[in-house]
Amino acid sequence: MAYLYNTPQQQREMLQTIGVDSIDELFDQIPAGLRLGRPLDLPPALTEIELESHLRELGAKNGSPLQRVCFLGGGSYDHFIPAAVDAIASRSEFYTAYTPYQAEASQGTLQAFFEYQSLICQLTGMDVSNASLYEGGTAVSEAVFMAMRATDRHGKVVLLGSVHPEYREVCETYLRQINCELVVVPTPEGVADVAAVRKAVDDQTACLVIQQPNFFGCLEQTQELVAAAHAVGALAVVSFDPISLGLLSRPGEYGADIAVAEGQSLGTPMQYGGPYLGILTCRQEFVRKMPGRLIGETVDRAGRRCYVLNLQAREQHIRREKATSNICTNQGLMALRATVYLSLLGPAGLREAAELCTRKAHYAADRLTSVSGIELAFRAPFFKEFTLRCRHGADRVVAQAGAAGFDLGPGLARFRRAGLDAANEYLVVAVTEKRTRAEIDALVAALR
Amino acid sequence: MRNTLATQLIFDLSQPGRRGAVYPSSDVPDRPLDDLIPASRRAASAPALPELTEPEVIRHFVNLSTKNMSVDTHFYPLGSCTMKYNPKRHERLAGLQGIVDLHPYQSVEHSQGMLEILYTMQQMLAEIAGLPAVSLQPAAGAQGEFTALLTASAYFRDLGETRTRVLFPNSAHGTNPASAALAGFECVQLKSTAQGFIDLDELRAALDHRTAVFMVTNPNTLGMFERDIPQVAKMVHDAGGLVYIDGANMNAICGVTRPGDFGGDMMHYNVHKTFTGPHGAGGPGSGPIAVRDFLGDYLPGPIVVRNELPADGAKGAPVKFRYDLMMPSKSIGRVRSFFGNVGILVRGYCYLRTLGAAGVRGMSENAVLNANYLLAKLKDVLPVPQGDRCMHEFVASAKPIKDERGISAMDIAKRLLDYGFHAPTVYFPLVVPEAIMIEPTETESRETLDAFADAIRKILAEDPAYLHEAPHQTPVSRPDEVRAARTPVLKWEKAT
């Protein structure tokens, strides 16, 4: 039997030490009537050799970017991951450890997360970062709850229509139970109309939720939007793309109060949607309202610099129903990946990656819109992602590209919450630093 | 061998001009950046990240890693966390092309292999739970709890019932009340009996038309099976409420008994624990939920469904299936973006496929055997209030030792680190004073358990003053947590 150490002989001796005759007897606490009187109905056990060929077979039924070219976006991206990231994340001492409850036995993890928090602050220009949340969508909801606590306004939240529709759905799910009104400001032009946002927020609004670059790839007027929130005493919550900060203004510079992100781009593979990395940062004054783990620096008994889980009085295992969140795990391994990724890239590497995304995305947009029936949906400036309007239907374009080995999307028809008329004509395209001119040209040729 | 010189922060190692990643130059026609993104939207300079070479980055983080204890290097009997061995094949298989690099919006046609894995995972988790409807969405156990409570809430709303309260015993994990509060419920905590079981009188008195859900961990946090669970479930059901089983301790009962068979209506799994995710220094987790069929329509989605394809004519040809994503008809909606923590689910799938039915039962049997063996080896030196039998874990109390000799649960935990063992969970559950919660798991040998028991015996014979200052062998000892909380230093800052 796999992964068990004790031999039948040892098992007998152990039972003797315990003072019972059989393993069955150990389960006496479970009333006989509740026992499952049959074997579980599970598929047959496989050896490692069999399991590997089974998984290879299943993997081959999927479309890997190795065989297909990935222009898919919408919150998960095919960015390059340096081998050094995998090397560190596969260190046993990191991936088979748990939450650093015992600081003395976990300084590796604790220091790495302290460095993560510091790097994320450098990246965003924000004052404080926690040690990570589940992923980008729940990070938005956690930020909204945090804004409610910080403003003591619990009845109204305003969110732009250009926020990722799945993030918005998560927010709706989270807010439904507590009678909080979620007002969505439509963005038919691809970006928010600042005047409309000013009208939508009021002195009951806990926060305004902005995404930059937004779901359509467009750049919002963040400075003006943040000002509109602040004018009514609401907090500005910004969901950003970490790679874009190699080039774009940082949330800390334009006045965000809470900045969150999907951190998958920072060295975590796409793996069909998770596990990813929820980044959450804020201004100093809100630190005790934060959800999730925080690592702090201190000294030990001998005065040595070291790191501990800090401000745990906010957390569920101490505060129970009064905790700032129910979250009990962070995304340790993904936070570690981001830490190594940012350490490798440094300012120059991140800047290069961001610039390559921008240049290639603009080239791709130019070329794709040269195809008849395809145009840019919006006029606003964009970063690595843009939305196409396909007059003959987005599905047709996706199918045509797909047949030639190129994956585009997501098409907006899949989202109930995309908020556009004729959603079936719209299509998001993402271009990372990995894409080449040859691939873009071949895609365009396939669509002609 | 540990490099004891490596104590610097990554920021201390930075030198202007160094770099660890180089990108190819642009292969598209050059255009001024100002034409692409207006200067007003751009930052004046790149973020002030540290500048390092790849070898420096590797040496830094490899050295950091040696300051950790982990399952691969040490016995890690952290109660309630199920720190079992993480099979290496999972890492290779979850990293295969077509699995690790699959985009979440990849078309259904080009995700059939992945959807088959996830569909089979749904089926296997339903079978082990005895609850037929499964959603793989939740990112961790705590999110599973929250998700199930929202599911219950939607169900009651549909019935036209207003139920506002969630009940749980005082031995519950902190996530139970925190999840209930987040889901908008009023929390009602019930006293347990002196032995740590659900107090039926307390429960009876608390149940009424306001009761939505009774949350219970079974086996409970003391590592004991709640014998009265059928009666508990009947009482809750008679009051019109639902029973939620916190699956934190599933490692004790897989293939032996099922939450659906002992009265549970909903439950969550911790795939990273029971099905060896792994733990990743604090996450990622994965917290699928399983529910009764009448709750299935309310589950968050998407979930995977399987349809039989029309036979292609040849007699005796194997049946072919097509897998699809579906949103349940009355779904509470999404609780996260994309499908779920798929990378962890794939590892759980590999584990269940390796073990099969007999192996899954064997896993629980040996987890329970190991825990009872360790209990038998320790009970004469370390008082265990719950008696001489347990399921997959047990909770000792250092209270008598502390009263007599001043040695606390924390002292024992810290000193264990010097002996080369990770500490058990201490000071939880809250119902046991000076609690020491020990969960050995099935993947430890008797030799390891014997060595651990010996270490505890030796520690208890040591000078209490020496123990108060333990650990003595670790890179640091007894960090000043009060100082950390009073003046929080939460990031590195450049010396000015």
Give the model confidence (pLDDT) of B351-367 as tens digits: 999 999 999 999 999 99
Contact between residue B154 and residue B295 where contact means Cβ atoms under 8 Å apart:
no
Contact between residue B243 and residue B236 where contact means Cβ atoms under 8 Å apart:
yes
Contact between residue B166 and residue B173 where contact means Cβ atoms under 8 Å apart:
no
Contact between residue A175 and residue A148 where contact means Cβ atoms under 8 Å apart:
no
- Preferred mutation among A20, A93, A241, A443 to probe B, highest tally of B CBs within 10 A: A93
Q: What's the CA angle centered on B489, arms B488 and B492, to 5 degrees?
A: 165
3-class DSSP state of A402:
helix
In angstroms, the CA A242 to CA A265 distance is 7
Contact between residue B435 and residue B426 where contact means Cβ atoms under 8 Å apart:
yes
- Chain A interface includes B475 (CB < 8 A): yes
In angstroms, the CA B163 to CA B181 distance is 14
- Tell me the per-residue pLDDT of A53-82, one tens digit each, with 9 for 90 and over: 999 999 999 977 678 999 999 999 999 999
Query: Up-side HSE of residue A5: CA atoms within 13 Å toward CB?
Result: 16
B278 upstream amide cis, omega within 30 of 0: yes
Cβ within 8 Å, pair B491-A129? yes
User: In whole angstroms, how far apart are CA B486 and each of A106, A146, A168, B298?
Assistant: 22, 21, 37, 45
Q: What's the CA angle centered on A159, arms B36 and B104, to 5 degrees?
A: 65
In angstroms, the CA B277 to CA B280 distance is 8
**pLDDT given at position A421:** 76
Beta-carbon pairs below 8 A across chains A and B: 692
Q: What are phi and psi of B126, to 5 degrees?
A: -65, -45
Q: Is residue A404 very low, low, confident or very high in pLDDT (cuts 50, 70, 90)?
A: very high
ipTM, 2 decimals? Answer: 0.97
Question: Residue B242 belongs to what H/E stretch?
Answer: strand B242-246
Contact between residue B175 and residue B141 where contact means Cβ atoms under 8 Å apart:
yes
**pLDDT given at position B386:** 87
**CA distance, residue B89 to nearest chain A CA (Å):** 7
**Domain B91-353, architecture per CATH:** 3-Layer(aba) Sandwich (3.40)
What residue ranges of chain B have pLDDT lower than 50? none
How far, rounded to the nearest angstrom, does the alpha carbon of residue A144 sit from its chain's CA centroid? 16
Query: pTM of this prediction?
Result: 0.97
Question: Residue B267 belongs to what H/E stretch?
Answer: strand B266-268
Sort out which chain A residues have CB atoms less than 8 A from B255's CB and list them: 36, 39-40
**CA distance, residue B461 to nearest chain A CA (Å):** 22
Of all residues in chain A, the one with the smallest CA distance to B64 is: A108
- Chain A interface includes B413 (CB < 8 A): yes
Sort out which chain A residues have CB atoms less than 8 A from B174's CB and list them: 315-320, 323, 328
Cβ within 8 Å, pair B47-A93? no
Structure tokens given for A26: 């150990």
Sort out which chain B residues have CB atoms less than 8 A from A139's CB and list them: none
Cβ within 8 Å, pair A59-B98? yes
In angstroms, the CA B77 to CA B452 distance is 10
Give Cβ neighbours of residue A7 (< 8 Å, ≥ 6 apart).
none
A181 forms beta bridges with: A156
Closest CB to B359 among A2, A54, A321: A2
- Preferred mutation among A85, A328, A341, A376 to probe B, highest tally of B CBs within 10 A: A328
3-class DSSP state of A26:
helix
Segment A158-184 mean pLDDT = 94
- The alpha carbon torsion through B31, B37, B42, B48 (nearest 10 deg) reads -50
- Preferred mutation among A272, A288, A300 to probe B, highest tally of B CBs within 10 A: A272
Cβ within 8 Å, pair B20-A349? yes
Type of residue numbered B230: P
- Preferred mutation among B9, B12, B68 to probe A, highest tally of A CBs within 10 A: B68
**CA distance, residue A32 to nearest chain B CA (Å):** 10
Structure tokens given for B62: 């490899």
Contact between residue A53 and residue B26 where contact means Cβ atoms under 8 Å apart:
no
Of all residues in chain A, the one with the smallest CA distance to B338 is: A273
Segment A390-397 mean pLDDT = 96
**pLDDT given at position B6:** 66
**pLDDT given at position B134:** 98
Closest CB to B258 among A36, A98, A117: A36
Domain chopping of chain B, boundaries: 10-65, 91-353, 358-482
Q: Secondary structure of chain A: what % helix, strand, coil (to 5)?
A: 45, 15, 40
Q: Chain B, 302-321: which have a CB under 8 Å from a chain A CB?
A: none
DSSP summary character for residue B185: P
Report the mean per-residue pLDDT for chain A: 95
Contact between residue B383 and residue B36 where contact means Cβ atoms under 8 Å apart:
no
| Domains of chain A (ranges, CATH numbers) | 69-81+346-447 (3.90.1150.10), 83-340 (3.40.640.10)
- Tell me the per-residue pLDDT of A32-53, one tens digit each, with 9 for 90 and over: 999 999 999 999 999 999 999 9
Q: Is residue A438 very low, low, confident or very high in pLDDT (cuts 50, 70, 90)?
A: very high
Q: Which CATH number fits domain B358-482: 2.60.40.1930, 3.90.1150.10, 3.40.50.300, 3.30.450.20?
A: 3.90.1150.10
In angstroms, the CA A267 to CA A272 distance is 15
Q: What are phi and psi of B206, to 5 degrees?
A: -90, -20
Cβ within 8 Å, pair A104-B476? yes
**CA distance, residue B202 to nearest chain A CA (Å):** 20
Rg (CA), chain B: 26
Contact between residue B424 and residue B350 where contact means Cβ atoms under 8 Å apart:
no
Of all residues in chain A, the one with the smallest CA distance to B157 is: A177
**Does residue A417 carry a pLDDT above 90?**
no
- Tell me the per-residue pLDDT of A320-373, one tens digit each, with 9 for 90 and over: 778 778 887 789 999 999 999 999 999 999 999 999 999 999 999 999 999 999
Query: Up-side HSE of residue B182: CA atoms within 13 Å toward CB?
Result: 35
Q: What percent of chain A has pLDDT over 90?
A: 90
Cβ within 8 Å, pair B111-A39? no
Helices A437-447 and A394-403, interaxial angle, to 10°? 120
**pLDDT given at position A177:** 81
**pLDDT given at position A396:** 96
Closest CB to B139 among A4, A138, A319: A138
Question: Residue B290 belongs to what H/E stretch?
Answer: strand B289-291
In angstroms, the CA A25 to CA B35 distance is 77
**CA distance, residue B99 to nearest chain A CA (Å):** 6
